């Protein structure tokens, strides 16, 4: 394990000594059974696999394990683990999800957006959320939920 990569997932330290090109997505899903992070496209086009690395929203499907040394990774399973996050609350209040498959990624992206833009404009939301596809078409409710979450105390 001399060359193992050390990092944290949801506050727990892990080490990885497999193929360093392995995307974080499959490590989370197949190794740690953290299946809340979804596979949608595999090439960073849809955002279903959005997680936080050191607080930034990134695509786990194109994040190689080799890039994680010392990183703090946070997944949907940890968001609201001690009570729902305001974004999740608003997602429920506005009945955002339809099939729900993309929503882990949408929520992770929205949380990161609100961190950088606490009071996002429509343009901020367009820019911040455009990388996350929802095929059911819940965008209108996503927008409303983000605006409402922006009004909540963080």
The residues of the shown chain that bind another protein, judged by CB under 8 A, are 18-19, 22-23, 26, 29-31, 33, 35-43, 45-46, 48, 75-77, 79-80, 84, 88, 91-92, 95-104, 107, 122, 125-127, 129-143
Report how far residue 69's alpha carbon sits from residue 26's, in angstroms, rounded to the nearest whole number. Answer: 17
CB of 1 to another protein, least distance (A): 17
Backbone angles phi, psi at 83, to 5 degrees: 100, 140
- In the complex with another protein, the residue whose CB is nearer, 22 or 67, is 22
Beta carbons within 10 angstroms of residue 25's beta carbon = 22
CB of 115 to another protein, least distance (A): 18
Judge whether 129 and 120 are in contact, CB under 8 Å: no
Judge whether 12 and 74 are in contact, CB under 8 Å: no
CB of 58 to another protein, least distance (A): 17
- In the complex with another protein, the residue whose CB is nearer, 54 or 95, is 95
């Amino acid at each position: 394990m001399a060359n193992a990569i050390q990092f944290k997932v949801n506050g727990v330290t892990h080490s990885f000594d497999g193929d360093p090109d392995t995307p974080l997505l499959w490590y989370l899903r197949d190794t740690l059974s953290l299946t809340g992070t979804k596979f949608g496209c595999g090439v960073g086009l849809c955002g279903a696999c959005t997680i936080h690395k050191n607080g930034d929203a990134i695509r786990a499907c194109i994040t190689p394990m080799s890039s994680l040394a010392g990183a703090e990774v946070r997944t949907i399973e940890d968001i609201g683990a001690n009570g729902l996050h305001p974004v999740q609350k608003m997602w429920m209040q506005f009945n955002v999800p339809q099939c729900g498959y993309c929503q882990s990624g949408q929520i992770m992206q929205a949380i990161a957006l609100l961190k950088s833009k606490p009071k996002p404009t429509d343009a901020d939301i367009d820019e911040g959320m455009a990388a996350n596809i929802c095929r059911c078409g819940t965008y209108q409710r996503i927008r409303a939920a983000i605006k409402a979450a922006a009004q909540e105390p963080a």
